[in-house]
Amino acid sequence: MIAIIGLDGATWDLAGPFCEDGDMPVLAEVRRRGAHGVLRSTTPPVTFPAWSSFMTGTNPGKHGIFDFTRRVPGTYEVAFVGSRDRRVPTIWRLLSDEGRRVAVIGVPTTYPPEPVNGIMVGGFDSPVATGIDGSFVHPRELYAEMTRAVGPYAVTDFQELTIGPGWHADVLPKILAAVDRKRDLARWVLRRERWDCFMMLFGEADTASHHFWMFADPASPRFDAEGARRFGGALRDVYRRLDAALGAILAELPPDAVVLVASDHGFGGAGTVAVHLNRWLADHGWLAFRAGRRGLGARAARVVRRAALAFLPRGAQERLVRRGGRALARRLEGWSRFGAIDMARTRAFSEELNYAPSVWLNVRGRDPDGTIAPGAEYDAAVESLRAALLAWRHPETGAAIVADVHRRDELYAGPFVEAAPDLVLELALDGGYSHPCLPTRPGEARSVRRLAVREHVAGKGGGMNGSHRPQGLWALAGRGVAATPATEAAIVDVAPSVLHLAGLDVPSWMDGRLLPGIAGEARVAAGVLALTEASDGHDHEAELRRRLQALGYLSEPVA
């Protein structure tokens, strides 16, 4: 049996000292008995593409998922990504096809759940904000049984958009309780039968790190001494609770089980120097904003969208979506992001995603109002823009704002590279802290600015005080795994390792290799990658939009 425990957003920067201090004895023992190290995430280190690479052993250019959303070809519209947008089979599918029994709980991009040989409970991208319904679960009839056995399963039961007084005190117990609920569900599933492969995903390290980092890190430019007196131990408490849950799960496993603990990315602190990419593009002649009333349309679209999500009952939202169709949601989201940009006078624009800063060129023949010709003109524009971004400096300190700029074809490989933004940015760290990338609001005159103190505590979309880093973690122990010094691995290495440990061949189209410490060599099965069908765009897209917007993962749009 192979048991995988996913700790979304977990980092050795925290888990390492906690292991040494005795706060995470179970993870410390897994690490001691086997192999471990840093697990390098995707670039950028974003939840959806990272977990998709984890499950497929391929880079985003092959599996086709780059973000929570995707651009609709030939438009400026934005569609919402789910499991049906992943274009290569997951390890759950490959194991199922070989007759292996699998149980998969809570992994992002597994909604709608695929019909595996076993059970699947969707991740946080699933549609219900505070709990789940039958559409969340395969087989559907398991939902009622699961609810009777362990009670309602909540993905999250608090909002992360507006962080007001008392929010942290209210949320911390809920985060800890969520760990316990998932622990109980995992134990119940494990007691049902002996699975060939089991995975449980805990997202609480990610949530806590986004919101409590400033209280635990005295060096943070956002450090809040008063808050630290109340919440300085919050991250340690969450990691300690996760370790206890890990111990309870491992106690249910057979003695010969292989255990993998892994995260999709790591974490670090966010600084107080924010950047506005579209303001910079406008200042350098790449982008033009609409003037006057035409520029107010995007603001109106945002107001309508927010009002609908905030005040309409769920049933009314669903009726509106059914009548308008997914095209309405796509147009509204695209207009709210790009409506303030005069595309006919724009050569490049950004979605200004805080977790994944990038730039699109406005290309003729690809984009409705494209201004750059494909071919030589496109290549020249890419190189000119890349050089300019790398030369971007803080106006006061002279420090670099951008550490690296990647062309998409340099970063990804596969049939879906063209679905990625033309340029992917890695923002420089400022004294070890990330620059928040924030939307350009009306009247914003600066591309680089210091956050006001009131902005230090922000929700999703506003520059949270903890941010993703590429360095996740992994630890592997059990039969066929040798004790090995700390070694870095890549997130695409997980899928081929799981297949190998299950005694199966590894498809030649996978990008990863075996994790360090695993005995033997992988048997590679030659063959051509058979792409799965793309999303049909049915109701799940509108459900995902509401779910992700409510959680704050979708970007706040341009001015």
Question: pLDDT tens for residues 435-467?
Answer: 999 999 888 999 999 999 999 999 988 999 999
2-269+468-551 and 273-289+341-450 share one CATH topology? no
User: Token pair 């390290």 is at which residue?
Assistant: 205
The predicted structure's pLDDT at residue 327: 65
- DSSP classification of residue 222: T
User: Token pair 């109980």 is at which residue?
Assistant: 184
Average of per-residue pLDDT values in the chain: 90
The predicted structure's pLDDT at residue 335: 79
Give yes or no for residue 144 having a pLDDT over 80: yes
Q: What is the DSSP string of 331-360?
A: HHHHHHHHTTB-GGG-SEE----TTS-EEE
Closest by alpha carbon to 245, among 156, 191, 192, 177? 177
- The share of the chain scoring above pLDDT 70, in percent, equals 87
Give yes or no for residue 544 having a pLDDT over 70: no
What does pTM read for this prediction?
0.91
pLDDT greater at residue 532 or residue 457? 457
The predicted structure's pLDDT at residue 546: 56
Mean pLDDT of 370-390: 98
Cβ atoms of 388 and 401 closer than 8 Å: no
CATH code, residues 2-269+468-551: 3.40.720.10
Give the model's confidence band at 249: pLDDT under 50 very low, under 70 low, under 90 confident, else very high: very high
The predicted structure's pLDDT at residue 324: 47
CATH code, residues 273-289+341-450: 3.30.1360
Domain boundaries, the chain: 2-269+468-551, 273-289+341-450, 293-339
The predicted structure's pLDDT at residue 158: 81
Give yes or no for residue 536 having a pLDDT over 90: no
> Using CA atoms, how far apart are residues 483 and 117, in angstroms rounded to an integer?
32
282-330 per-position pLDDT tens digit: 999 999 999 864 445 555 555 555 544 444 444 444 444 444 455 666 7
Give the model's confidence band at 542: pLDDT under 50 very low, under 70 low, under 90 confident, else very high: low
74-119 per-position pLDDT tens digit: 999 988 888 999 999 999 999 999 999 999 999 999 989 999 999 9
